[in-house]
Structure 1
Amino acid sequence: MKNIILLFLLGSCLSACAQKNNQNPYGLTIVNDYRAYHTDYKINPDHELVEIKKAIPSVVLDIRYATKNNFMQQVMYKQARAFARKPVVEQLKKIQAILNKKGYGLKIFDAYRPYAITVAFYQKASDKNFVANPAKGSKHNRGCAVDLTIIDLKTGKDVPMPTPYDSFAPEAAPHFENLPPAVIKNRDFLIATMQANGFKVIYNEWWHFDFNGWQDYELMDIPFEKL
């Protein structure tokens, strides 16, 4: 009986949410109603957006979009927090354990990103190849993408990579070869570790990893402060 009531509530909430989504110029279904989202993950816990730092306390956060140190050169997030769907966080926890045994750790730049932020990025970005098209939405909007690098646990410093985070340079591509061998080794180590544990790097950003199975999750537009 409890499940039947929850399903009824979910249907009602999603119906109300869908009416709002008719206003989306691309015809996308975007969950922007917290009640609908809350009811949904109570039925399916995998749909919950989990705060990464709470689940993996040893992770380092460098949430650039909560600062002006980003390609937009303005604060985009009101809070310096990182969320991802529950299965995504579970895989990140496994990866952190693997890295720790080798003297490394994860540093996360970004994870779940509300859809409204994706729209703002696309409007301002000088190179549209490096930002998601709001006509399709982003894996970040689904809580199924993470932007990250690795740090050396002994020094606490970032391991050298081909480019800084959010670089639009050609060197940011994960298969770019005209680089120092040590940098290629670091990049390939990160990519191999992530791809062996449920993620796939995208074609033009060595730091961006999509979760395998992202198709099972809806686009979201709920701000951090409501989560």
Structure 2
Amino acid sequence: MTSRTFNTPTTPATKDEWLTPPDIIRALGEFDLDPCAPVKRPWDMANNHYSIADNGMELPWFGRVWLNPPYGDETFKWISRGAAHGNAMCLIFARTETKGFHNEVWNKADAIFFFKGRLKFFHVNGREADGAANAPSCIVAYGPSNVEALRSASAKGLLRGRFIPLKSATPPALSPPAMHDDPLPATLPFADFSQHSAFLPGDIPLFRA
């Protein structure tokens, strides 16, 4: 991620760049592109990277994309691009009530993973930050393969938190109810009164609750 990120921890010496914890990347598998990567990084987030010098928003995106987008007003522009790309995972704050989250996550994403506790991000020199992020984080998945990767990482305990499918959780449509003018079956189980009843009128049993 470049510039201040949506997950920037609050520290006395706030930096412009914070790195995704490498355990998260390892848990989710290989990515083809990180379009908002730091210029200098101690580890790769993907096989290919665009930095702030490349202006990754304007360049072609391809394959499976990892996003830890810039902080602030630009965040959901990147998320929107990831949703349109259709094969992306995005690490953002779990600001579930915001308009951007409603528009780009609740309305478009295939699954979300909410982390238990707050994450610690890393400096560009590879050192873990002293403080945790100033809000809870989540990973948003677009595309079926990313849903399965997120589900698998959660099930294996590689990520601590709660996996929530979205589109795949929609219940199937119910069959329409039978109409009153549907044809009746050829035969119905009517009682046959041609045979003598097993009970005489005076023998009808009485039932009490």
Q: TM-score, normalised by structure 1?
A: 0.25
Indicate the structure with greater helix content.
1
Report the structure number with the largest CA radius of gyration: 2
